[in-house]
Amino acid sequence: MGLARIAHVFAAARAEGRAALMPYFTLGYPDAGTSEAVIRAIAAAGADLIELGVPFSDPLADGPTIQRSTQVALEEGMTVARCLALTGHLREAGVSQALLLMGYVNPIIAYGATRFVADAAAAGADGLIVPDLPPEEAAAHGAGEIEAACAAHGLALVYLAAPTSTEERLVTLAARTTGFLYLVSVAGVTGARDGLPHDLAAFVGRARAVAQTPIAVGFGIATPAQARAVGQLADGVIVGSALINAVTGAADPSETARIFVGALRAALDTGQSHR
Query: If we measure between CA atoms, which residue out of 257, 263, 266 comes closest to residue 25?
Result: 257
What is the C-alpha to C-alpha distance for residues 222 and 65, in angstroms, rounded to an integer? 12
Burial tier of 88 (Cβ tally within 10 Å: 0-12, 13-18, 19+) = middle
Q: Is-cis flag, bond preceding 30, omega within 30?
A: yes
In order, the DSSP letters of 198-239 are TTHHHHHHHHHTT-SS-EEEESS--SHHHHHHHHTT-SEEEE
Q: How far is CA 257 from the centre of its chain?
A: 16
For residue 8, the tally of other CB atoms under 10 A from its CB is 13
Active site residues: 51, 62
Phi and psi of 193, rounded to 5°? -135, 160
Phi and psi of 218, rounded to 5°? -140, 180
What is the C-alpha to C-alpha distance for residues 253 and 135, in angstroms, rounded to an integer? 37
